[in-house]
């Protein structure tokens, strides 16, 4: 097998989530002398993602620092951009893989599976890469906000799990549990003032405000919503995040049902054409959002009964 074939097999196995097989291919590439930042990083990455416990999170951060120190300065400008993109995608995939595995373990009554604690560690992992990227030249702002928004979704899950476990019984406990969430929202707002954060699903009498409402014109709001939602405009506006359990269900329905037939594709095109304007004009009307949310909640519950999961999802 030549080097190009092995690279393709390694990439394919990794993208399919077969990290054991991918690790085997990457190790063979290194043995053959094909030493690049990509093979060096993903050999260590695949080995780390398969380890149990929480130590792999700090290990991945250490690996990233080492790779950046060794390879970054010798890369061409475009290759540096690809490196940043690969790191961001791989970190989000790492968190997705670990979090969804924990959810499955919890569903199988594994008492060691702590969904909230796993979400908290995954959010911290996003922040670790933000710290890495902040040490390098400008131009990483978009990637940094993508990581921070992912962290927000994970911190929301953490807070919801804390509530389910009876650890949030008043506003002070809610304030303490949302400390990292509120700080992360502030950091996003520095680059994206119109960002509308999701709110944990806990009773209103326990909540304190996560962030001041953004003050933007309708046109600016539409632009920011387009950037943050990447397509599911109305659902993202209602639930506050493109990456949250409810929108994960809807995105699965879009990709696996609507996008697979002619009528569904037409609906998607019409929805994408009309919904940004709808959100810009009506997205701040709380009573309307409550009505839409009630309808969507029922539809999402129906989809979950049909087998559409509310675990982390990457668009097709």
Name the residue with higher pLDDT: 229 or 249. 249
pLDDT at 137: 61
Name the residue with higher pLDDT: 280 or 117. 117
- CA–CA gap between residue 196 and residue 219 (Å, rounded): 15
pLDDT at 224: 43
The string of pLDDT tens digits covering residues 178-233 is 999 999 999 988 887 878 788 898 998 999 888 887 655 444 444 444 444 445 77
pLDDT more than 70, % of the chain: 91
| Overall pTM surpassing 0.75 (yes/no) | no
Mean pLDDT over 268-274 rounds to 79
Tokens of 104: 């499955």
User: Confidence class of residue 140 from pLDDT cuts 50, 70 and 90?
Assistant: low
Mean pLDDT over 259-273 rounds to 83
pLDDT at 228: 42
pLDDT at 178: 96
pLDDT at 168: 95
Mean pLDDT over 97-124 rounds to 92
Name the residue with higher pLDDT: 242 or 255. 255
Q: Average pLDDT over the chain, rounded to whole?
A: 85
- H runs (alpha helix) in the chain: 3-15, 19-31, 37-49, 55-71, 77-107, 115-134, 141-164, 171-177, 179-191, 218-229, 233-239, 245-256, 262-282, 286-305
pLDDT at 222: 45
Burial 3-35 (b: 16+ CB within 10 A, else e): eeebbebbeebbeeeebebbbbbbebbeeeebe
The string of pLDDT tens digits covering residues 143-167 is 788 899 899 999 999 999 999 999 9
pLDDT at 49: 93
Lowest model confidence (mean pLDDT) among 130-134, 230-234, 280-284: 230-234
Name the residue with higher pLDDT: 102 or 76. 102
Give the single-character DSSP code of 258.
G
Lowest model confidence (mean pLDDT) among 95-104, 205-214, 231-240, 300-309: 231-240
- CA–CA gap between residue 68 and residue 103 (Å, rounded): 32
Structural domain boundaries in the chain = 227-316
Torsion over CA of 280, 282, 286 and 292, rounded to 10 degrees?
A: -100
Mean pLDDT over 70-74 rounds to 84
């Amino acid at each position: 097998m030549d080097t190009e074939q092995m690279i393709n097999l390694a990439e394919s196995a990794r993208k399919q989530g077969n990290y054991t097989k991918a690790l085997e291919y990457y190790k063979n590439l290194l043995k053959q002398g094909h030493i690049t930042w990509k093979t060096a990083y993903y050999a260590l990455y695949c080995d780390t993602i398969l380890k149990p416990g929480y130590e792999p999170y700090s290990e991945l951060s250490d690996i990233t620092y080492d790779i950046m120190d060794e390879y970054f300065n010798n890369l061409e400008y475009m290759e540096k951009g690809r490196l940043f993109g690969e790191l961001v995608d791989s970190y989000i995939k790492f968190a997705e893989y670990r979090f969804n595995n924990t959810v499955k373990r919890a569903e199988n009554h594994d008492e060691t599976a702590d969904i909230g604690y796993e979400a908290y560690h995954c959010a911290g992992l996003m922040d670790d890469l933000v710290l890495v990227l902040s040490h390098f030249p400008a131009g990483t702002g978009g990637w940094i906000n993508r990581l921070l928004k992912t962290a927000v979704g994970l911190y929301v899950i953490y807070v919801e799990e804390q509530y389910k476990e009876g650890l949030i019984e008043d506003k002070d406990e809610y304030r303490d549990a949302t400390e990292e969430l509120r700080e992360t929202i502030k950091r996003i707002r520095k680059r994206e003032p119109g960002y509308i954060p999701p709110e944990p699903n806990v009773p209103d009498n326990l909540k304190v405000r996560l962030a001041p409402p953004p003050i933007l014109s309708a046109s600016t709001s539409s632009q920011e919503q387009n950037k943050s939602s990447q397509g599911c405009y109305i659902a993202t506006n209602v639930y506050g995040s493109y990456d949250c359990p409810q929108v994960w269900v809807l995105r699965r329905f879009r990709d696996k049902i609507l996008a697979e037939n002619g009528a569904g594709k037409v609906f998607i095109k019409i929805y994408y054409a009309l919904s940004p304007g709808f959100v810009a004009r009506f997205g701040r009307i709380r009573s309307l959002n409550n009505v839409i949310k009630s309808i969507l909640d029922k539809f999402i519950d129906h989809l979950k009964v049909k087998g559409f999961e509310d675990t982390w999802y990457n668009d097709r």
